[in-house]
Amino acid sequence: MLDLQFIRDNTDIVRLALKNKNREGVDLDRILALAEERKKAAGLVGEINKKRNDAQATRDAEAGKRLKDELKTAEENYQAVEKELVSLLIKIPNIPSADTPVGPDESGNKVIREWGEKPQFSFTPKAHWDIGKILGVIDNEKAAEVSGARFTYLKGGLAMLEFALMNFAWSVLTSEETLQKIITGAGLSISAKPFVPVIPPIMMRSGVMNRMARLDPLDERYYFEKDDLVFIGSAEHTLGPLHMDETLREEQLPLRYAAMTPAFRREAGAAGKDTRGILRLHQFNKLEMESFTKPEDGLAEQDFMVAIQEYLLQQLRLPYRAVAICTGDMGFPDQRQIDLETWMPGQQGSNASEGLGCYRETHTSDYIGGFQARRLNTKVKRADGSNEPVHMNDATALSQRPLIAILENYQNADGTVTVPEVL
RNA sequence: GGAGGCGUCGCAUAGCGGUCUAGUGCACCGCCUUGGAAAGGCGGCAUGGGGCAACCCAUCGAGAGUUCGAAUCUCUCCGCCUCCGCCA
């Protein structure tokens, strides 16, 4: 949620953001009108309360009764205005950063860096689903019988490879020395405080997920109505509220956490897309980073997280490119979104004329600013005594998708796969 | 699942129908004192909203109710603790 005062003072910026983020349906004028109305309604409630307090001081029972009724009416009016205002306010997306490309959809994304040499094969490289079948390490058929489409069994060496991958990521995220090296390499000057490993809940109250601005679209979530619990779509969802309703001290920041959890996604609206292999599943494991920083450190923190992601892929010798996600394609609460796409030589991209091989998204990083913190009520007390929302970042460390990249980039002619040296 | 207890301004606590504009201790900040410190003294120290300001309003886990009046009484919900049962 944006700050109401910010919306009032920067109507043009908000209107532009609505347009660029494809949310022109949000009635900004109505919001501004409601904000005025709420101010008036609150004034009236305060006035009646004052009179009521005076009546109580003089034990004026008659006036007290009358004012109680007046207060009830005024409060009901205030509640109605407040409710409509908040319901509209939470529909305004976050404002894209200045360096975010403007664009309607995926087509507006900009590649900002490329790294690595694409492997050359003396044979036609296979897609990971074929390699998985040859090696007997991916079994979607049985998973479909047991759980349905978009589930998988990862077995044997591939399961071990995933553990190795996650261990590798943990070794980086918990090492101050390695993090300092990454920070220096990226030309940043921020704290090298390591990430605190966390095993978080993977179900959460729908109300809290809503405060994270991640409940919508509910259709994308697995929701247990009876218990009002939602399966998380990312560890971010339960790491983000770790300091809900708290005021942090400046010297505590940055606070960095990481968690490996299953992530659950219904993939509503993706019917028929990426149905082969393990690229798009209802359940997959992911190691996620989350951090809380002072507002002025938020953007650099995202650069840091991207640098970690790139370090991980570079250590794995996997070619990738970094992509600045444009306004129309970025997440609702995002101020700036940068994705890494890793080279997958065995797959056919959407453009068949380009031949075999394509880049697929393996990493995302979201700079959220104070957008989530405002609704989560996670604040930082500044040196001057004032309070303001902390800035938050979340980003993928490693997920199951890099497994695909390893299978396809490290494949041999006989269908075997070489394990990356760092693992 | 059963029984009982408890949620108060960072922490610990007082308050049990109007004197609460919520007291006290600790922690923290400033000043006095000191060569410097400790101790001591004085002052400050929650959040949100409104107002140029003095100041006003709201908030004692959340919501509803009783009452002229609720931190205090009643109900519902949420959370925590103790005991019992079941259990990876």
Decide: CB of A55 under 7 A of nucleic strand B: yes
Q: Summarize pLDDT for A175-190 with one digit per residue, the tens.
A: 999 999 999 999 999 9
Report the sign of the C-alpha dihedral through residues A159, A160, A165, A170, in that order. Answer: positive
pLDDT (0 to 100) of residue A271: 81
Q: Could you tell me which residues are beta bridge partners of residue A160?
A: none
Decide: CB of A381 under 7 A of nucleic strand B: yes
Q: Which nucleotide is nearest to A247 (CA to C1')?
A: B10
Nucleotides of B under 7 A from a protein CB: 10, 18, 47-51, 56-58, 67-69
Distance CA A71, CA A54 (A): 14
Report the sign of the C-alpha dihedral through residues A357, A358, A361, A363, in that order. Answer: positive
Q: Summarize pLDDT for A83-128 with one digit per residue, the tens.
A: 899 889 989 999 999 999 999 999 999 999 999 999 999 999 999 9
Question: Is the CB of residue A357 less than 8 Å from the CB of residue A343?
Answer: yes
Decide: CB of A249 under 7 A of nucleic strand B: no
C-alpha angle A61/A64/A66, rounded to 5°?
115
What is the phi/psi pair of residue A358, to 5°? Answer: -160, 160
Q: What is the mean pLDDT of chain A?
A: 92
Question: Going by C-beta distance under 8 Å and a sequence separation of 6 or more, which residues neighbour residue A86?
Answer: none
Task: Say how far A75 CA is from B18 C1', in Å.
Answer: 24
Q: Which nucleotide is nearest to A61 (CA to C1')?
A: B68
Question: Going by C-beta distance under 8 Å and a sequence separation of 6 or more, which residues neighbour residue A339?
Answer: A109, A322, A323, A325, A361, A363, A364, A365
Task: Say how far A293 CA is from B76 C1', in Å.
Answer: 39
Decide: CB of A252 under 7 A of nucleic strand B: no
pLDDT (0 to 100) of residue A196: 93
Q: Summarize pLDDT for A127-154 with one digit per residue, the tens.
A: 999 999 999 999 999 999 999 999 999 9
Task: Say how far A244 CA is from B46 C1', in Å.
Answer: 17
The confidence band for A383, taking pLDDT boundaries of 50, 70 and 90, is: confident
Question: Is the CB of residue A41 less than 8 Å from the CB of residue A81?
Answer: yes
Supply the pTM of this predicted model: 0.92
Decide: CB of A68 under 7 A of nucleic strand B: yes
DSSP assignment of A96-156 equals PPTTSPP-SSGGG-EEEEEESPPPP-SSPPPPHHHHHHHHT-EEHHHHHHHT-TT--EE-H
